[in-house]
Structure 1
């Protein structure tokens, strides 16, 4: 398959050394194949179908949480992030300072052990249970590294999956303050502002992760992209803080940080970081037989935020005194983040579970 053909090349440059020049014909063939396939990994809060409004409010068993004896999540012997993880953020487009603060605090909260429970760090403990072939666990430490601002839209306001890799290349090869090259512990997070269109955004995905091609970037770097859907499709990618137009009777919930687009991004960012940590080169932890379309630890829990979640019921969440909805605490802020699959218990878990 396409991915398994690329993985040997990815392994060859996993230590961060520039890849040898690729013949022009081979580069063209690889790029042509990439353009012709369907998206490899993506995420959206709800499936691409209309759902019953009453299900969103009342449906679902109180002990469902995605549990199934038919889910066979397996380890395929690939590398995972066992070294301390550094997140390098690329802010593409126009971002307000308050928006950056919300996202930065969420990422910093992953390793903040003193946060009030239920905490973001408690959510990450489920991710930490995953190991590599030596038995080493996913790192507890997730921190912010050097960032890059691309406020002038260097590659335009309409990006493809390939041009996203070009944006990353520009960041790591910049003349001034280039972003560090860290294939073993660096996680590259490209965030696009609410006026940037991305291939498959809103129609199929709200975010995705993959790894860069040496023929484009010069290195194999695990990366994720997440877009701000506020102006484009908040009802799809910022649910439940916005609702789809086809459910006019359903009222949106109040977001915990007062920014519907960014509060909606938080769960998608968490989704992609969890999957990058456990499946950075698409050959580690996933269910199914096809690495081109893997089902990963966050895919198994889409739309589940609390006890009883499943189907189209989000589960039991928390309500603040200000009326905002959330399910976990950060250092100072509150967030709504989807649960992830616990391979030890074989169902979705989160720090706000009522039966822990």
Structure 2
């Protein structure tokens, strides 16, 4: 059993960090053992603070609990691989799959669930399922979506007016959404007591920003990775959706867990922006695993052996950033 090692020099620092990459020849049966060994080689622990606004604190408001029923709206043109990766990620939140490989998407989700205990609201599983799916491939609201006019219309289209559903709107690469690519890569909020999430495919509009670490940021010489599904749009959308989902669950109505100003809060994932594994630093996502089949970078596995690269989470118990690797 062997490892490939690369010493990385993050831009703007003289410090060098060790990235551990699983050799592509590893058989799946060795995955658990290799993960344990690779953990011993991380120079920085995953649990370190990254939030520029300080620790997240609970502000007394509601958080999502119990059953969370999604009303998905595929807005625009989405490919089969993209839909499959996103849909499988949703299924994997509560279902670990049959593979013995670790870590799982469910482990990532349990950290989000732990915010309930931190708010003294119990510690029940948060069950996520897709209750309704709608497709709008003809861009009925146009290709420029504004927050005040078109997002409310898309939320209604997704939910059919049912306030018990969480509208999840995925906009294709041909669509521009106000508020995305200008400091944020996804949105969440409420309209008439209905929670919503908006996530776009960033390949066209936000290359090097909302599709990092799969694409090089402007004026950067940092590390880039291959997407685990082989499709940058699919895996970047998963990361941005995970970011908005964690924010919606833990900071519903901007009165839950956050740091900084409530009008522009730092939340569960944005507190750990750019961190995907131990040893992360500026322009370096940290330690990851490499799929032996396609060279894609991943740190979690879900149902159907689907691999994902999931962002670091602010752990409310340790008050630091936590990653799967």
TM-score by length of 2: 0.80
Residues 85 and 139 of structure 1 are in contact (CA less than 8 Å); yes or no, is this contact kept in structure 2? no
Q: SS of the counterpart of 2:303? A: coil
Q: 1:310 to 1:222 in 2, by over 3 A?
A: farther
1:347: how far off? Answer: 1.1
Q: 1:283 to 1:319 in 2, by over 3 A?
A: same
1:340 — aligned with what? 313
1:9 — aligned with what? none
2:54 — aligned with what? 71
1:230: how far off? Answer: 1.5
1:246: how far off? Answer: 2.8
Supply the RMSD in Å over aligned alpha carbons: 2.6
Residues 279 and 285 of structure 1 are in contact (CA less than 8 Å); yes or no, is this contact kept in structure 2? yes
Q: 1:76 to 1:252 in 2, by over 3 A?
A: closer
Q: SS of the counterpart of 2:237? A: helix
Does 2:285 correspond to 1:302? no
Q: Which runs of 5+ in 2 are unaligned?
A: 1-8, 19-42
Mapped partners of 1:197, 1:157: distance in 2: 6
Q: 1:345 to 1:251 in 2, by over 3 A?
A: closer
TM-score by length of 1: 0.73
Mapped partners of 1:79, 1:119: distance in 2: 27
2:115 — aligned with what? 130
1:261 — aligned with what? 233
Q: SS of the counterpart of 1:108? A: helix
Q: SS of the counterpart of 2:254? A: coil
Q: Which runs of 5+ in 1 are unaligned?
A: 1-50, 173-177, 213-218
Q: SS of the counterpart of 1:146? A: strand
Identify which of 194, 201, 204 aligns with 1:228. Answer: 201
2:215 — aligned with what? 242
Q: 1:97 to 1:64 in 2, by over 3 A?
A: closer
Mapped partners of 1:56, 1:188: distance in 2: 45
2:26 — aligned with what? none
Identify which of 138, 145, 155 aligns with 1:168. Answer: 155
Identify which of 141, 145, 166 aligns with 2:127. Answer: 141
Mapped partners of 2:210, 2:124: distance in 1: 28
Q: 1:204 to 1:328 in 2, by over 3 A?
A: same
Mapped partners of 1:228, 1:255: distance in 2: 14
1:325: how far off? Answer: 0.7
1:209 — aligned with what? 188
Residues 127 and 138 of structure 1 are in contact (CA less than 8 Å); yes or no, is this contact kept in structure 2? no
Residues 208 and 217 of structure 2 are in contact (CA less than 8 Å); yes or no, is this contact kept in structure 1? yes
Identify which of 290, 310, 315 aligns with 2:286. Answer: 315
Residues 328 and 334 of structure 1 are in contact (CA less than 8 Å); yes or no, is this contact kept in structure 2? yes
1:140: how far off? Answer: 3.1
2:323 — aligned with what? 350
Q: What number of residue pairs does the alignment pair up? A: 286
1:193 — aligned with what? 172
1:104 — aligned with what? 87
1:138: how far off? Answer: 5.9
Residues 58 and 313 of structure 1 are in contact (CA less than 8 Å); yes or no, is this contact kept in structure 2? no
Tell me which moved more, 69-78 or 251-260. 69-78
